[in-house]
Amino acid sequence: MTIYSFWIFDKHCNCIFDKEWTIPSQPRSGTTNSKQNENVAKLLYGLIFSLRSITDKISSDPVDFLSQKNRIRSITTGKCRVHLFETATGFWFALMTDFKQDDYYDILNHIYKNIFVRFISLNYISPSDFVENEDEKGGQGIRKINNKNFINNLELFLSPLIS
């Protein structure tokens, strides 16, 4: 199994973090919060957003609160698979991988619980909301997660999976 890239979107439709690994054998290779990925991020957001609207519409059963809504978990193409993890506060975590493994839920859950919450949400020095004014809402934002602890821990955790 190989992972290609990792993305975080917030509830203001902004991509607040992206990481792409370019050479699979070298976990340290690749780009973080790259300007060049801006358009890909928007397209990926749009894809997930549209699929979400569709899945919301096609589930007709009354939703029991504890069983999740009919959310997309992954999107597969001929070459790769995008795994998704969504929180009630509106963060989306997306992991792009090859399609040898079906489920990365535990991995995304771990990233949220032990890396994101720890180094971003409960870190009072880091902003909890990456939008500073109205103009940055609706996908117009430019702010990214640049927290060193977060990035290092994320790379450390994901590096065994890049190969």
Please report whether residue 66 would count as binding other proteins according to CB under 8 A: yes
CB of 130 to other proteins, least distance (A): 13
Please report whether residue 129 would count as binding other proteins according to CB under 8 A: yes
Find out whether 71 and 59 touch, Cβ atoms under 8 Å: no
**Which of 2, 139, 144, 153 touches other proteins (CB under 8 A)?**
139
CB of 140 to other proteins, least distance (A): 6
Residue 150, class by beta-carbon neighbours within 10 Å (0-12 exposed, 13-18 middle, 19+ buried)? buried
Helix, strand, coil proportions of the chain in percent (round to 5)? 35, 20, 45
Nearer to other proteins, 29 or 69 (CB): 69
Nearer to other proteins, 4 or 119 (CB): 119
Nearer to other proteins, 4 or 104 (CB): 104
Q: Locate tokens 């790379």: which residue?
A: 155
CB atoms within 10 A of CB 77: 9
141 vs 134: CA distance, rounded Å: 9
Binding site for other proteins (CB under 8 A): 11-13, 42, 45-46, 49, 62-66, 68-69, 87-90, 109, 112-113, 116-117, 121-122, 124, 128-129, 137-140
